[in-house]
Structure 1
Amino acid sequence: MSEVNKNSLEKILPQLKCHFTWNLLKEEHVSHDLKDRVSNQIEFLNTKFKATMYNLLAYIKHLDGQNEEALECLQQAEDSIQREHADQAEIRSLVTWGNYAWVYYHMGRLSEAQAYVDKVKRVCEKFSNPYSIECPELDCEEGWTLLQCGAKRNERAKVCFEKALEEKPNNPEFFSGLAIAISGLDDKPQKQFPASVLKQAIELNPDNQYIKVLLALKLQKMNKEEEGEPLVVEALEKASCQADVLRSAAYFYQKKGDLDKAIELFKKALESLPNNAYIYHQIACCYRAKKKQIQNTDHSEASRDSEKTEETRKCAMDYINKAIEKGLNPLYAYSDSPDLEAEECYQGSFNKEHPQAEGKQLPQRYSNSQECPGKCEDTPILDHLKDLTVSTKSTETEKVKYQLQNGAENQLPQNAPNFWYLQGLTHKLNGDLLRAAECFEKELGCLLKNSPSGISSFFLPESELEEDREEGGPGVDSSTLSELLDP
């Protein structure tokens, strides 16, 4: 192909409606968890949605530099469209053809890229537009793709489904997508929605088990848990291997207080999502809650259960460490587990590498600290302030004191991430709880220093706030915090 044609192709490609022009993951690291989730959807979702998942998997493969594998996924998407949407094959194939064109372009196979551009053009010209058209099916495809790519894209997904429903009201596929998108926004006070939206989605699409669990969670939030639980039971019976159903059902039982059931379901979800840090962390939280349940029994019974208490504590610690291995920030992982030994927190945090995974999924309490910064009781650092205990295991404690002091004081600069948190752990181990509290308060101030409410001024003096604004300041920097709190 001549240079003139290459230039022409480069002007056309950005006009195509496909994953390469939807601003999805291009500048971010693609987590193994996302691949796991998409693969699970391909295996267990209704066959009508497989083409959408194959298209997304192709894009992920491309971002990983696996263009040949991406082409194979696009072929599977095409085959699925021919089987499941034969009456709309051309329209439904536009996204796939656009992806083909982009992948071939990146491979340097320009003639093949041009061939797929021409296929798109032949369809779009029927609608008086050379390379893109307004179509509810394309809006729907974009919406489902955005839902898979992280909670921070729920608002965009919602807009896509609303646009599609303007053309085809009460379409089951479109309405299900809308219900899922807005349920992901429900924890924002200004985004509350009635349960009737999910009920209508179930009426239109009774085979969607995931929406049933979302409705159960909504009812639970409305203090109608007994009404919601049968929906969870039904969903688990009909979609026993669907990871999103398992995970959401586990969350339902976790909130109910049935911790054994929650752990069972979370562990089953891990079979399909082995790289999901959120699930490991939730299992740890369940074990931690179980430990507290045991400790809250009468004294004689607690004595008999001391071995069980220790076993539960170790399980919590194991899953915290696994969550960190999968990319969860140690500061948040351990701040939700203040009863775990401080020296184990240190060793688990700093004897491991901490890969930063795109689309971290954190418990809602963490995102609440960003949305409602005035409610500092929701900030995980305060858990440390509530439970400052000193370990009595002298030999190990002295060893870790030395590691902490050398790591936090002699090696780490004051503007290092989590500096004040490490200082607090050091003082806690030394028995200086007042200074430990001061350090944890400073870490909290650093976390909240960009809050529009100005709450950080309660924890940091004005001089340090000014210094932070000039030099970036100690603790977690604002970009890292934003990434952590907006998965």
Structure 2
Amino acid sequence: MATKEKISLGQMIEMDRNISQTKGSNSIHQDPLIEDFSFQHELGGNVSATPYETILKTLPCYFNWDLEESCDEDVQTLVQCAQENLVSNTEMTLVPHKTMLGYLYVTQRRRMEDREPSTALSWFDQALSDNQLDTDSCGDNDGPQGDTLILLGNIAWVYFISGRLDMVDKTLQKIKQKFDNRISESQKAFMYGHKGICFAYFLKKTCDISIACFNRALLVFPCHTDWLFWSAFVLCFQRDRHYREPFDTDAFSVLHEEEILYKHVLENNSNHSFAKAMLGSLFCVRQQYENADSLIIDALQSNHTMPTVAYFAAIVYATLKNFKLSIKVLEQALEAWPNNTYLLRQLAYTYKEIYLFESAHDQEQNSNHLKMAIRYHDKAIKVADGHLPEAIINKAKVCKLMGNMVEAHRLYLLAINTNRDPYWKSVVYFEFGEFCEQHLEEHSDALKYYQLAIDQGTQYWCAKRAAQVISHLTLEKSVE
């Protein structure tokens, strides 16, 4: 792919004016707070706190979007993700990531005494400065002002929570001055793009909303690189929840859509290392290993310490059984990001895969590989303060390989009792059902947990497999 100069946000929008795009049957999100927004409220120093709260609830911003409804992620893990995106983002717009960092310092997932309103406001101010750069870059296009409205709404909420009603009034006055009429389609597009990115941080039930937000934003600006990338990124995680090999027609359709999106990103910015790494991992899933290896090499040359790049590179190398290189890539990234839970979790997974691959050889070495897997799972779980269901479940699998069924049983129960995300609840119910059936020979309990896996949502791969197992077991019983 030919290298291109990095284009500015203003140039990109000028390109968008000459491009049309149809989204087919993809869902489009409609947010009433965005679509119906019109600031018609009277303001003044004598207004009491209750009307302020009523006004604030009409603003399109993080505090009114129920972002954390089913989120299990530890706050510090989310903060690390936002910090990573600030360092590694290859586009000029850092507004959503700085806004997310601000929000995470006042999130309800923090205890009241741990919230830092002043830090949140500092990040929001930085985001407003970047937002002004975006506005200047766009010339006569007013799209970035959509980000402005979201930021001012967040700022007003923080002041309200802090009891600084004079600053609430001052911020609402700014909103009234800038947005007393209905907002434009360009502003709405930026708001939907911003909402899509902020929901992508939580990657739980919000996957559908995030993708639908990007679909809405890309209708107006189909060449917006950030939205194209994050749309594919979230689609990848949603696909991972819905499908497991062997893939069916629907899964291949999603893979094709992801590929198109990543290629569009690289057409706009050929140096986008994240897109290269993600596309490389996609080619690996499709068993196009030569293409996968080439893209991963390019991505690592551009940015070998960034966690997302290293994470997907390590997955590709582990799939190719190049375990030494997989470990090397992860360890290099961990030198820069020692508490990144995704890198720690993937390192643990790689050691487990080495054990499985070399299980016919040196038993002492294999035992050490499993011990290393436990070590890195434990570190990931500790860093995430226990809010890392995949690490807990995978540690249980390692314990099974080590013959420690008591600890595996404890970990499965821990995962069941601590998860809120329906996908991970479905996974752990399915895995625990297999554990009950295959290791405890408690078939009635196994059927109960398989059914609980289905009850979390029939769209998940684990629920589909649970249904197949129940059908098979029922058929076996009827034959007997």
Counterpart-to-counterpart distance in 1, 2:270 and 2:373? 37
Query: Where does residue 53 of structure 1 map in the other structure?
Result: 97
Equivalent residue for 2:330, pick from 266, 274, 299: 266
Aligned with 2:270: secondary structure?
coil
1:245 aligns with 2:309: yes
Query: Where does residue 60 of structure 2 map in the other structure?
Result: 17
Query: Where does residue 156 of structure 2 map in the other structure?
Result: 101
- The Cα RMSD (Å) is 3.7
Query: Where does residue 445 of structure 1 map in the other structure?
Result: 447
Deviation per CA, 1:117-147: give whole Å up to 9, x if none: 2212222235479xx9961111111111111
Q: What letter matches 1:342 in structure 2? A: N
Answer whether contact 1:18 1:96 (CA < 8 A) is retained.
yes
Query: Where does residue 32 of structure 2 map in the other structure?
Result: none
1:157 aligns with 2:157: no
Query: Where does residue 224 of structure 2 map in the other structure?
Result: 171
Equivalent residue for 1:235, pick from 299, 306, 327: 299
Q: What letter matches 1:244 in structure 2? A: T
Aligned with 1:447: secondary structure?
helix
Structure-to-structure mapping, 1:37-48, within 5 angstroms: 37-46=81-90, 48=92
Structure-to-structure mapping, 1:87-486, within 5 angstroms: 87=138, 88=142, 90-127=145-182, 135-187=188-240, 188=242, 190=250, 192-193=253-254, 194=256, 195-271=259-335, 274-275=338-339, 277-297=341-361, 302=362, 306-325=363-382, 326=384, 327=386, 328=388, 330=392, 332-342=394-404, 345=407, 356=418, 379=431, 382=434, 437-439=440-442, 441-450=443-452, 451=454, 453=467
Counterpart-to-counterpart distance in 2, 1:72 and 1:174? 25
Counterpart-to-counterpart distance in 1, 2:59 and 2:318? 44
Counterpart-to-counterpart distance in 2, 1:73 and 1:358? 29
Instruction: Say if 1:275 and 1:153 are closer, same or farther in 2 by CA, change over 3 A.
Output: farther
Counterpart-to-counterpart distance in 2, 1:19 and 1:172? 23
Answer whether contact 1:52 1:144 (CA < 8 A) is retained.
yes
Task: Pick 1 or 2: higher relative contact order, CA cutoff 8 A, min separation 6.
Answer: 2
Instruction: Say if 1:60 and 1:29 are closer, same or farther in 2 by CA, change over 3 A.
Output: farther
Instruction: Say if 1:91 and 1:384 are closer, same or farther in 2 by CA, change over 3 A.
Output: closer
Q: What letter matches 2:188 in structure 1? A: C
Counterpart-to-counterpart distance in 2, 1:69 and 1:354? 35
Q: What letter matches 1:182 in structure 2? A: L
Counterpart-to-counterpart distance in 1, 2:290 and 2:346? 23
Equivalent residue for 1:7, pick from 47, 50, 55: 50
Answer whether contact 1:445 1:457 (CA < 8 A) is retained.
no
Answer whether contact 1:94 1:120 (CA < 8 A) is retained.
yes
Aligned with 2:395: secondary structure?
helix
Answer whether contact 1:278 1:360 (CA < 8 A) is retained.
no
Q: What letter matches 1:222 in structure 2? A: R
Query: Where does residue 72 of structure 1 map in the other structure?
Result: 122
User: How many pairs were matched up?
Assistant: 390
Counterpart-to-counterpart distance in 2, 1:18 and 1:62? 14
Answer whether contact 1:335 1:383 (CA < 8 A) is retained.
no
Answer whether contact 1:246 1:266 (CA < 8 A) is retained.
yes
Alpha-carbon distance, 1:95 to partner: 1.4
Deviation per CA, 1:435-459: give whole Å up to 9, x if none: x5323x4553342223264955877
Aligned with 1:62: secondary structure?
coil
Structure 2 length-normalised TM: 0.70
Answer whether contact 2:228 2:262 (CA < 8 A) is retained.
no
Q: Which runs of 5+ in 2 are unaligned?
A: 1-43, 244-249, 456-466, 475-480
Instruction: Say if 1:29 and 1:151 are closer, same or farther in 2 by CA, change over 3 A.
Output: closer
Alpha-carbon distance, 1:62 to partner: 0.8
Q: What letter matches 1:334 in structure 2? A: A
Deviation per CA, 1:266-289: give whole Å up to 9, x if none: 344445655555543432232122
